[in-house]
Structure 1
């Protein structure tokens, strides 16, 4: 005979509830026609699992029920391989034996002991899935535990779990929940979609799963481009742009009237701004406070972002918000001295160079102005001082590293400006500092620089 008893299940399934005991009842049947059978039950974790009857006697052809109990725990005790109930048996020829005799009988190995069954223990329910989603530790065979746990969940529970999974970045788990009945178009209490959660968390793989599964967004509450902009994720911006194929979305506004470029400016996300500009977004959009993105970048002191926005818009530098303040004024209020030069000091330096104000030139440069910064026409301060014949101003600018052979947009150097205006002394001074008298004038056209 291969075994003395038969179990009514092939495995036992416990619904795990955090902090509570779990229990499951199963039945063993004595297959012997004339002899009673003693039964011993145990697991690998006797401190966690227990039985109402660890030792018992089953009369011939009779059945007996057993209850497996698990201790309260903060997380399901998932192991690979999973724990199991081992069922051992031995025949009781006289039909009766006390518990002490039964224990002694099972404590001695030998041919009289039968191993009749091994019943794996599985944990079911949403709290098991929550643990698998949130766990930072990689558990072997996660899919096995996940698929087991799902069988103990309702459709509504799977849908709720999708929210956590969308944030987790575990795209395979998201797909499994959807495949088993989770509603991909479930909304948060505030109306946001699962795609909003995935984008806000920066999970591109989850986003792709949701898109392929038919997840939809509501533009009035799902400010997905703004979420991607806030974390400087060009890849997500590009994926969103391709998925929704709507150029208007790149200039969509949130509840504060801010576009994705505004959000990028707040966080100093220059890469996203460049992407938005490349697909047609406006760098001069105004929020509810009439702030341009440049206002917000200047307030935060994000130099790279400030310079990127200045390249895209000459107007923004002079735009006034609702309080009548420029981006430069906001930078001063917030002590963002690193952006002063780009926003204002370069302009002040150009004015000082134009009138030959040596003290003004020195002050601006000492405060951070770029001695070789160019205006909208490509003129540096040295171009202006040379054209106006301001000898001492030219001398001061050269002393601070002003470049003598730099071209403006029309291909003119400071030397060209001095010669054209007839300032002989300035011309000689520039030549003495390396200006090339025979440097050919160049102009910039669609094909690049060319000589004339």
Structure 2
């Protein structure tokens, strides 16, 4: 015979509540027809107690109900087990102290009749596991599997309402390992907290990408205009979260004030989020209900990099006005962001002065901080304009102020190419004398237009004997040989 008693359960569960006593019961039956059996019940955690007693005597073929109790605790204990040991007792009776000595004395035949897994269960246990578990790739496999096992047990005593509340907690803490089990157990993926926030919006607000992904995979839905999840992700410059939430149909969604995710990215000066929004098709010039474009938002906060990015994406946005008639420049000026003046206004004045040949105006604007290499919507610098118009004095002032002599526009034109095509031979010759690369190629054509009438004039660069005494452009920082036939 390998055991003396039977137990009516294979495992025990205690529904845990903080600061309350919890208990469970089971029944033990003596399998012996003619012999009494002594029983000893033990757990690893000494806080558990048994009633009526951990030591008892069962007459032949009799049964007894035993209760296991856990005293009031603030937090649940870890899982445990109940070991049921027995031995035959010919006398049929013994005092508990004598039974204790029987089971502790060596040499006596002791049977291990059962080992009952003991779990504490319920929403408080799930919450305890959730707060104790961190979503880290460094967690060991054993720890992960143990947590998953304990979670599967603890969930069994949770109501639908409990599961929904726990799902909100899992979303807030960003632990995707809890999201799927909770949903599988009955939590709705669109569960909301007492303030009406969905689990997905809670995960997004906390920047918990993987929890948000798990919720979306489980079927969670959101209204991009009302929930503002994309707005929150853009405001946090969280491109990973944007990538999870965004699709072509929602990335440009406006909220009740007309603001779109790109407005939030611009207000925060978040270059990565701005690039993501534009790449996904956001309207970079879209106004909100007050007429504010993303450029206005970036300018109001003084974000130079965001301003320059938006101007590259939508050059004409600098001319847009709010409902009260303010340009992005005016908004920046009111906020004291003078460092944005060149990008939003002074650069325009410099382009105009270069076009008109106003050398004094150029000097004045440069002294005020205008960027001498600023570009218009076509990629033209002031030097492109001055060269194209043949404004020799302006060309000299610009070069003297640090203008890039071989700057290329959106199609690869340099100031020299502009001068040549416009027939401005004196300017072209001067640019070459200042080091402009005569062999610079464009995106449209790899050759200078030598048949242009400009090249027929005396002393034009095209009439200079070859080889030209000009070095080829450096490549990777290394000098190259001179231009040869």
TM > 0.5 fold call: yes
SS in 2 for 1:372: coil
Q: Deviations over 1:65-85 (max 9, x none)?
A: 33322244444333xxx4211
Deviation at 1:434, TM superposition (A): 1.3
Offset, 1:372 = 1.6
SS of alignment partner, residue 398 of structure 2:
helix
Match of 1:18 in 2: 18
Contact 1:14–1:24 (Cα < 8 Å) also in 2: yes
Give distance in 1, aligned partners of 2:19 and 2:341: 58
Counterpart in 2 of 1:260?
261
Query: Using the alignment, how far apart are the partners of 1:394 and 1:451 within structure 2?
Result: 20
Partner residue in 2 for 1:347:
348
* TM-score of the superposed pair, with normalisation by structure 1: 0.82
Cα distance per residue 1:234-266 (max 9 Å; x no partner): 455455444xx63xx332211332011112212
| Correspondence 1:285 to 2:282 | no
Task: After TM superposition, give the deviation of residue 123 of structure 1 in Å.
Answer: 1.8
- CA offset at residue 62 of structure 1? 3.0
Q: Deviations over 1:352-401 (max 9, x none)?
A: 6552136524423xx4x432221224332333455677666544432343
| 2:132 is equivalent to residue 135 of structure 1 | yes
SS of the counterpart of 1:28?
Answer: strand
Aligned to 1:183: 188
2:156 corresponds to 1:156:
no
Q: 2:237 touches 2:270 (CA, 8 Å); kept in 1?
A: yes
1:144 corresponds, among 134, 146, 149, to 149
How far, CA to CA, are the matches of 1:383 and 1:276 in structure 2?
A: 32
Q: List gaps (5 residues or longer) in structure 2.
A: 450-485
Distance 2:223 2:128 in 1: 30
SS in 1 for 2:251: helix
Query: How much is the aligned-residue C-alpha RMSD, in angstroms?
Result: 3.4
Query: Please, which of 104, 114, 133 is the counterpart of residue 107 of structure 1?
Result: 104
Question: Which residue of structure 2 lines up, in the alignment, with residue 380 of structure 1?
Answer: 381
1:68 is matched with 68
Q: Which residue of 2 aligns with 1:250?
A: 251
Show structure 1 runs of 5+ residues with no match.
Answer: none
Q: How does 1:298-447 map to 2 (within 5 A)?
A: 298-336=299-337, 339-351=340-352, 353=354, 354-357=357-360, 359-364=363-368, 367=369, 369-386=370-387, 394-408=395-409, 413-415=414-416, 424=426, 430-436=431-437, 438-439=438-439, 442=442
Q: Please, which moves more after superposition, 335-344 or 23-32?
A: 335-344
Q: How many residues align?
A: 436
Q: Is the 8 A contact 2:231 2:260 kept in 1?
A: yes
Whole-Å Cα distance in 1 between the matches of residues 338 and 115 of structure 2? 73
Q: Secondary structure at the match of 2:3?
A: coil
Deviations 1:204-240 (A, max 9, x none): 5444544444333345523333233234344554554
Q: Structure 2 CA distance, aligned partners of 1:220 and 1:294? A: 21
Q: Show the counterpart of 2:48.
A: 49
Does the 8 A contact of 2:174 with 2:203 survive in 1? yes
Aligned: 1:6 with 2:17: no
If the length of structure 2 is used for normalisation, what is the TM-score?
A: 0.77
CA contact (8 A) 1:192 1:221 kept: no
Secondary structure at 1:383's aligned position in 2?
helix
Q: 2-side partners of 1:183 and 1:434: how far apart?
A: 70
